[in-house]
C-alpha cells in the first residue's frame, strides 16, 4: 500500500483493486434520511440563497457553525459543475481511501507486517458500527456526513502521532476539526498525554509547544468565529436547562450515560478488558507501544467518567457540547489494532484456530454477547499461554472445532434475518478479507503463485479494470439486486422544496403559504407534474 518507483503501475493497479473492491462490499448510501435532514438543505441554501429563504432552522445554520467549513467545501465544489450528489461521492471515496490506507500503515507499524495492516482494515470495515462503543458512535459509516470526511483526516493524525511525528499528527487533527470539530478535537486531546510523555522522555519542549500551537490554532478557526458571532452563547438557559433540552430531549443516546443501553456498556467493557489481556501477552508490541495504547484507553475511560459527573451529577453545558462518548470509537480503534496484531502473532506461530476466533468474533452478525464471548476466548488463550498449552491449538481438530463453534454461535444467536442472509454476509466478509489481503498475498506467496503458473501482473491489471467496471455498474444500479450496489441517487431540489410546502400544516411555525420557492424550482415542479 506504499507506492515506490519500482513497478509503480502494478502498485497503482493493486491499490485501485483493493480500494474499489472494498468500497463495493462496504457500500455507500447518499440519499439517506440522516444526510438529507442534517446536511444537504444547508448546502443547497449556500449554493442558491433563494432555497429555504424563509426556513428559520436552515437560515440559522447559514451562520457560522461547527459545520461551516464542511458546508462551504461541499457547496463550492458542487458549484464548479459537479453537482451535489457527485461531490458527496467524490469526497466519500477520498475519505474511504484515506481511511483504508491509514489503517494499513497503522497495522503495519504495530504488527511489523502487511498482514496486520490488512487485518486492521478488515476489522474496522466489518465490525458492527456500534460494537465496542457507547453513545451510538462509530468509526465509519456508509453515509457521507461531516464526521466521515473528518475521520479520513483524523486517521492520519492517529498514525503520525503513534509514529512520534507530532507536527504532522496535530496538523491532521486540526484539519479534521474544520470538517467535524469533535472528530478532530477529541483524538487530539487523547494523544496529549502521549505527547507529554514523549516530550519529557526526549527533553523536547519545542515539539510539545509547536504541536499544541498547531492543534489549538486550527481549533480556534472554529471556536473564535463562533464566539465573535455569538453562536456559542447560551446564557438564556442555565446549565441544567441546556443539558435537559440538548441532552435528555434532543440527544440522550449521545450525551446522557445513564440512557446508554446496558448491552452497549457490557460490550464496551468486555472488549476493553479483553484488549488489556491481549496487550499484556503480546510478543509483537514493544513496551512503548503497549503503554501508548493503554494510555488511549485509560483517558477514554476518564473522559466517560468526567462526562457522567459533569452531565448528570453536576451539570455543565460545556461537557454536554463535547459529547465525550465520542472518544470511544478511538478506543475501539486501539482494540482492533491489538486484535490485528494478536492475529498476526498467532498466524506466525501456526495457531489458525485462535486466528479465526479472534478475527471473526467481532464481525459475526449476531445480536447477543459478542463482547462477552470475545473476552471469554481471550481469557482462555491467556490461560493456555500461561501454562504453555497453546501448542494444543495448532492441530487440525482444534481448528475444525473453532469453525464449528463459530457457525453454531451464529446460528443460535442470529438476529431475525434468515440463516441464508447471515451466511451471505459471512461470504461477503470473507471476500472483503481476501481483497484487503491481496498486498500481503502478493508479497508473501509469490513463490507459490509462480509454481502455479499464475500470470500475476495480467491478473492484477484485469482485476483492477473489472473492479472499476463493477463499481460503475453498481453506481448506476445496473447490477442484479442481490449483488452489492452503490446507493447513489440525486436529490431533486424542486421536489424536496415543494413536498416540504405541501406537507407543512397551516398551523406550523413557518406557514406553507409563505414558503418562498424560486421561479426556477416552481417551473421544474410543474414540468414534473
401-416 pLDDT, tens digit each:
888 888 887 777 766 6
2-17 pLDDT, tens digit each:
555 567 888 899 999 9
Quick check: is 113 in a domain? Answer: no
Question: Worst-scoring range by mean pLDDT, 27-31, 347-351, 465-469?
Answer: 27-31
pLDDT at 115: 94
Is the confidence at residue 63, as pLDDT, over 90? Answer: no
pLDDT at 472: 82
Number of domains in the chain: 1
Which grid coordinates belong to 416?
431475525
Quick check: is 514 in a domain? Answer: yes
Please give the span between the terminal C-alpha atoms of the chain, in angstroms, as a whole number.
51
Contact 512, 502 (CB under 8 A): yes
Quick check: is 376 in a domain? Answer: no
109-129 pLDDT, tens digit each:
999 999 999 999 999 999 877
Sign of CA dihedral 38, 41, 43, 49: negative
CA–CA distance from 18 to each of 57, 283, 448, 466 (Å)?
42, 29, 21, 12
Q: Which of 196, 156, 192 is nearest to 176 (CA)?
A: 156
Query: Region 414-419: what's the mean pLDDT?
Result: 65
Counting Cα atoms < 13 Å in the Cβ hemisphere of 381 gives: 29
How big is the CA angle at 77 (ends 147 and 518), to the nearest 5 degrees?
Answer: 100
Q: When comparing pLDDT for 62 and 129, which is higher?
A: 62
Name the pLDDT band for 56 (thresholds 50, 70, 90).
confident
In three-state form (DSSP H/G/I as H, E/B as E, the rest C), the secondary structure along 24-52 is HHHCCECCCHHHHHHCHHHHHHHHCCCCC
Sign of CA dihedral 167, 168, 170, 174: positive
Quick check: is 37 in a domain? Answer: no
Is the confidence at residue 36, as pLDDT, over 70? Answer: no
In sequence order, what DSSP letters do the residues of 438-479 get, joined into one string? Answer: HHHHHHHSHHHHHHTT--HHHHHHHHHHHHHHHHHHHHTT-S
Which grid coordinates belong to 59?
437560515
The whole-angstrom separation of Cα 25 and Cα 96 is 12
Phi, psi values for residue 487, rounded to 5°: -75, 90
Residue 261 CA to chain centroid, in angstroms? Answer: 21
Quick check: is 114 in a domain? Answer: no
Name the pLDDT band for 516 (thresholds 50, 70, 90).
very low
- For the CA atoms of the chain, what is the radius of gyration? 25
Quick check: is 497 in a domain? Answer: yes
Tell me which residue range forms the domain holding 499: 493-527
Q: When comparing pLDDT for 33 and 143, which is higher?
A: 143
Is the confidence at residue 523, as pLDDT, over 70? Answer: no
Query: Region 492-509: what's the mean pLDDT?
Result: 54
Quick check: is 455 in a domain? Answer: no
Name the pLDDT band for 102 (thresholds 50, 70, 90).
very high
Q: What percent of the chain has pLDDT over 90?
A: 48
The whole-angstrom separation of Cα 94 and Cα 72 is 17
Highest mean pLDDT among 160-164, 437-441, 448-452, 524-528: 160-164
Query: Region 30-36: what's the mean pLDDT?
Result: 63
Q: Which of 292, 284, 373, 377 is nearest to 331 (CA)?
A: 292
Name the pLDDT band for 424 (thresholds 50, 70, 90).
confident
Query: Region 391-410: what's the mean pLDDT?
Result: 85
Quick check: is 499 in a domain? Answer: yes
Q: Which of 495, 516, 515 is nearest to 505 (CA)?
A: 515
Alpha helix (H) ranges present in 203-315? 205-228, 239-243, 252-255, 262-281, 287-308
pLDDT at 528: 39
pLDDT at 246: 87
Residues in the chain: 529
- Indicate the pTM of the whole model: 0.89
Is the confidence at residue 505, as pLDDT, over 70? Answer: no
The whole-angstrom separation of Cα 520 and Cα 529 is 14
| Strand, coil or helix: 487 | strand
Average pLDDT, the chain: 84
Amino acid at each position: 500500500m506504499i507506492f515506490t518507483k519500482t513497478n509503480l503501475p502494478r502498485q497503482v493497479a493493486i491499490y485501485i483493486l483493493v480500494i474499489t473492491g472494498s468500497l463495493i462490499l462496504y457500500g455507500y448510501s447518499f440519499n439517506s434520511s440522516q444526510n438529507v435532514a442534517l446536511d444537504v438543505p444547508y448546502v443547497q441554501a449556500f449554493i442558491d440563497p433563494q432555497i429555504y429563504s424563509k426556513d428559520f432552522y436552515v437560515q440559522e445554520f447559514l451562520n457560522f457553525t461547527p459545520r461551516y467549513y464542511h458546508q462551504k467545501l461541499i457547496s463550492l465544489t458542487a458549484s464548479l459543475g459537479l453537482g451535489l450528489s457527485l461531490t458527496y461521492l467524490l469526497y466519500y471515496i477520498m475519505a474511504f481511501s484515506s481511511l483504508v490506507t491509514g489503517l494499513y500503515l497503522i497495522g503495519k507499524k504495530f504488527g511489523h507486517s502487511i498482514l496486520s495492516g490488512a487485518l486492521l482494515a478488515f476489522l474496522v470495515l466489518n465490525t458492527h458500527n456500534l460494537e465496542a462503543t457507547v453513545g451510538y458512535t462509530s468509526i465509519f459509516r456508509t453515509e457521507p456526513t461531516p464526521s466521515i470526511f473528518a475521520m479520513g483526516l483524523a486517521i492520519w493524525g492517529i498514525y503520525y502521532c503513534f509514529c512520534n511525528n507530532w507536527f504532522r499528527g496535530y496538523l491532521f487533527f486540526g484539519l479534521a476539526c474544520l470538517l467535524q470539530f469533535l472528530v478532530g478535537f477529541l483524538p487530539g486531546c487523547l494523544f496529549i498525554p502521549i505527547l507529554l510523555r514523549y516530550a519529557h522522555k526526549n527533553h523536547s519542549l519545542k515539539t510539545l509547544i509547536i504541536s499544541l500551537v498547531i492543534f489549538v490554532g486550527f481549533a480556534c478557526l472554529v471556536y473564535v468565529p463562533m464566539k465573535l458571532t455569538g453562536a456559542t452563547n447560551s446564557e438564556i438557559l442555565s446549565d441544567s436547562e441546556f443539558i435537559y433540552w440538548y441532552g435528555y430531549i434532543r440527544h440522550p443516546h449521545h450525551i446522557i450515560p445513564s440512557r446508554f443501553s446496558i448491552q452497549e456498556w457490557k460490550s464496551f467493557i468486555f472488549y476493553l478488558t479483553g484488549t488489556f489481556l491481549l496487550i499484556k501477552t503480546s510478543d509483537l508490541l514493544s513496551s512503548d507501544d503497549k503503554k501508548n495504547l493503554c494510555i488511549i484507553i485509560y483517558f477514554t475511560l476518564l473522559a466517560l467518567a468526567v462526562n457522567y459527573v459533569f452531565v448528570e451529577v453536576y451539570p455543565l453545558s460545556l461537557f454536554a457540547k463535547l459529547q465525550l462518548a465520542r472518544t470511544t470509537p478511538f478506543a475501539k480503534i486501539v482494540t482492533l489494532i491489538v486484535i490485528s496484531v494478536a492475529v498476526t502473532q498467532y498466524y506466525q506461530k501456526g495457531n489458525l484456530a485462535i486466528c479465526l476466533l479472534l478475527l471473526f468474533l467481532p464481525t459475526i452478525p449476531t445480536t447477543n454477547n459478542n463482547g462477552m464471548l470475545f473476552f471469554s476466548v481471550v481469557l482462555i488463550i491467556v490461560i493456555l499461554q500461561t501454562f504453555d498449552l497453546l501448542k494444543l491449538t495448532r492441530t487440525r481438530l482444534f481448528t475444525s472445532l473453532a469453525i464449528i463453534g463459530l457457525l453454531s454461535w451464529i446460528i443460535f444467536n442470529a438476529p431475525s434475518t434468515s440463516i441464508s442472509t447471515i451466511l451471505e454476509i459471512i461470504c461477503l466478509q470473507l471476500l472483503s478479507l481476501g481483497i484487503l489481503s491481496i498486498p500481503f498475498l502478493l508479497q508473501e506467496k509469490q513463490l507459490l503463485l509462480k509454481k502455479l503458473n499464475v500470470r500475476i501482473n495480467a491478473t492484477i491489471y484485469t482485476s483492477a479494470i473489472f473492479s472499476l467496471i463493477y463499481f460503475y455498474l453498481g453506481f448506476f444500479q445496473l447490477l442484479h439486486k442481490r449483488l452489492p450496489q452503490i446507493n447513489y441517487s440525486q436529490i431533486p431540489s424542486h421536489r424536496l422544496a415543494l413536498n416540504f410546502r405541501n406537507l407543512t400544516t397551516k398551523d406550523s411555525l413557518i406557514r406553507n403559504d409563505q414558503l418562498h420557492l424560486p421561479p426556477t424550482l416552481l417551473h421544474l415542479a410543474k414540468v414534473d407534474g
